[in-house]
Amino acid sequence: MNISSDIRNLISNRRTGYTLPAAFYLSNEINLLDIDVIFGQHWIFVAVEPDIAEPGDYVKVDIGHNSVIIVRDDDMSIKAFHNVCRHRGSQLCDAQKGSVGNIVCPYHQWTYNLSGELIHNEHMGEAFDKSQHHLKPVHVGNIAGLIFICLADKPPADFEDMKAAMTPYIAPHRLADCKVALQEDIVENGNWKLTMENNRECYHCVANHPELLASMYEFGFGYQPSPENAEKVQEFRDLITSENNRWAACGLPSSEIDLLDGCPTAYRTQRLPLEKAGESQTMDGKIASQKLLGELTQRNLGGLSFWTQPNSWHHFMSDHIVTFSALPIDAEHTLVRSTWLVHKDAVEGVDYDINRLSEVWRATNKQDSNLVERTQRGVKSDQYEPGPYSPYTEELVEKFTNWYIQRLEIAIANKANVIPIKAAQ
């Protein structure tokens, strides 16, 4: 990608502690840079194992103008490929999810197996070398059932560090033994970074998210003691300490890891107490599904939160899991995919009610979507200028934007890594 001097200046002149200049939310050129550098060279959360439980199951994921299919191979391994036929370029799969024997292009029936190899096509003659026309592969990573992909030739190696650190936290919830109870896509009318910035703070929760705060403490999301709330924050920190000790004694690692800044594969995790019954992110704090996950026997495990950069957040409770991915559609639209998972043997209507399971986050998603949209409209003004982050509640937002700017800076400095965008598109 040929990066204009305007954009280089915007990146190098960015003022820390302040929101980004408007062009980062509006410019098509920067959006292509984001798709190229941020979504093209980092690990992106895209699915969970239960999305593709059986051989031949696939999910389609669109990242800007690129489309990828994630497939369960016959040997139960997970593969990912660019969703483009090597013949005339037709998309292979156009459903969001499905199940196939082989991957057959509907245009001229070029047929690829679940490992992406071109195994059959007609009318190409004997000299045609099928091995030169396999599907283009995409790297796959798997952390205890959370599936990530990386479009780069050489993915960041520190994914293995995140995997090693996070597996003990996540594994007890046995994601692979869950089923998808509900999956919902919403299109937010805003740049994907506004979606992420909104997700990285709870300053906005008290006035906007009554359902979420029915069970969640806002203080768990990057709060520092401020003149207004020093006492409450300290109380909450004491509660975390005692609960984390209790959960650790049950074999559940719970303490905070914060690597949101400074490395390519950036993340944060912490197991956080919940209010009321303390069991789950529901309106009364009680579990929403009667069948506890994996071999868990206690209900009141609070919520294990896991945030990744650039694009996901997850909450693991004793009874259910909610995962979220944010994917750019274009500079001004973002897909947010939410997935609610329960034990695979839980029976809808008996063990869980789908509305009770999902009401908190469905309401929260809608509220957040409105906030993202009105911010997208606001930053269009010629008179918008970057505003100051709260030093007490927006630390994680700043880590996100700092990480983002740093990743662009490194990609530009190391220009050889920047994939060229198609000429004249």
Residue 91 sits in the site that holds a second copy (CB under 8 A): yes
Q: Which residues contact 423 (CB under 8 A, 6 or more apart)?
A: none
Residue count, binding to a second copy (CB under 8 A):
76
Question: CB of 155: closest distance to a second copy in angstroms?
Answer: 15
Choose which of 375, 399, 400, 403 interacts with a second copy (CB under 8 A): 375
Between the CA of residue 369 and those of 92, 142, 190, 362, what are the distances in Å? 31, 29, 8, 11
Give the residue with the Cβ less far from a second copy, 200 or 291.
Answer: 200
* Identity of the amino acid at 269: T
b/e code 282-292 from CB counts within 10 Å (16+ = b): bbebbbbbebb
Question: CB of 100: closest distance to a second copy in angstroms?
Answer: 15
Residue 234 sits in the site that holds a second copy (CB under 8 A): no
What angle (nearest 5°) sits at the alpha carbon of residue 129, between those of residues 125 and 130? 100
Please state at what angle helix 395-413 crosses helix 192-199, rounded to 10 degrees. 140
Question: CB of 107: closest distance to a second copy in angstroms?
Answer: 5
Tokens standing for residue 51:
């999305």
Q: Annotate each residue in 54-83 with x if it binds a second copy (CB under 8 A) or - if it does not, as one string.
A: -----------xxx--------------xx
Choose which of 53, 96, 117, 392 interacts with a second copy (CB under 8 A): 392
Classify residue 8 by its DSSP letter.
Answer: H
Give the residue with the Cβ less far from a second copy, 49 or 197.
Answer: 197
Stretch that binds a second copy, among 140-148, 286-294, 335-343, 385-393 (CB under 8 A): 385-393
d(CA 243, CA 300): 10
Give the residue with the Cβ less far from a second copy, 128 or 248.
Answer: 128
Give the residue with the Cβ less far from a second copy, 10 or 52.
Answer: 10
Residue 383 sits in the site that holds a second copy (CB under 8 A): yes
Segment holding 327, helix H or strand E:
strand 320-330
Give the residue with the Cβ less far from a second copy, 186 or 371.
Answer: 371
Q: Which residue has the tokens 């609610």?
A: 340
Nearest to 29 by CA among 15, 44, 10: 10
Residue 204 sits in the site that holds a second copy (CB under 8 A): yes
Please state at what angle helix 5-12 crosses helix 395-413, rounded to 10 degrees. 140
Q: Which 118-177 residues touch a second copy, going by CB under 8 A?
A: 122-126, 128, 133, 136
Question: CB of 9: closest distance to a second copy in angstroms?
Answer: 7
Question: CB of 226: closest distance to a second copy in angstroms?
Answer: 5
Give the residue with the Cβ less far from a second copy, 62 or 348.
Answer: 62
Question: CB of 354: closest distance to a second copy in angstroms?
Answer: 30
Residue 374 sits in the site that holds a second copy (CB under 8 A): yes
Question: CB of 145: closest distance to a second copy in angstroms?
Answer: 27
Residue 393 sits in the site that holds a second copy (CB under 8 A): yes
Tokens standing for residue 363:
């309401």
Question: CB of 307: closest distance to a second copy in angstroms?
Answer: 19
d(CA 170, CA 253): 9
Q: Which 176-195 residues touch a second copy, going by CB under 8 A?
A: none
Q: Annotate each residue in 307-336 with x if it binds a second copy (CB under 8 A) or - if it does not, as one string.
A: ------------------------------
The reply to whether omega before 310 is within 30° of 0 (cis) is yes
* Identity of the amino acid at 18: Y
Q: Which residues contact 304 (CB under 8 A, 6 or more apart)?
A: 169, 170, 173, 252, 254, 269, 270, 271, 272, 315, 316, 317
Choose which of 17, 101, 106, 262 interacts with a second copy (CB under 8 A): 106
**Region for residue 424 given its phi and psi (left: phi exceeds 0; alpha: psi -120 to 50; beta: otherwise):** left
Residue 419 sits in the site that holds a second copy (CB under 8 A): yes
Choose which of 14, 19, 215, 291 interacts with a second copy (CB under 8 A): 19
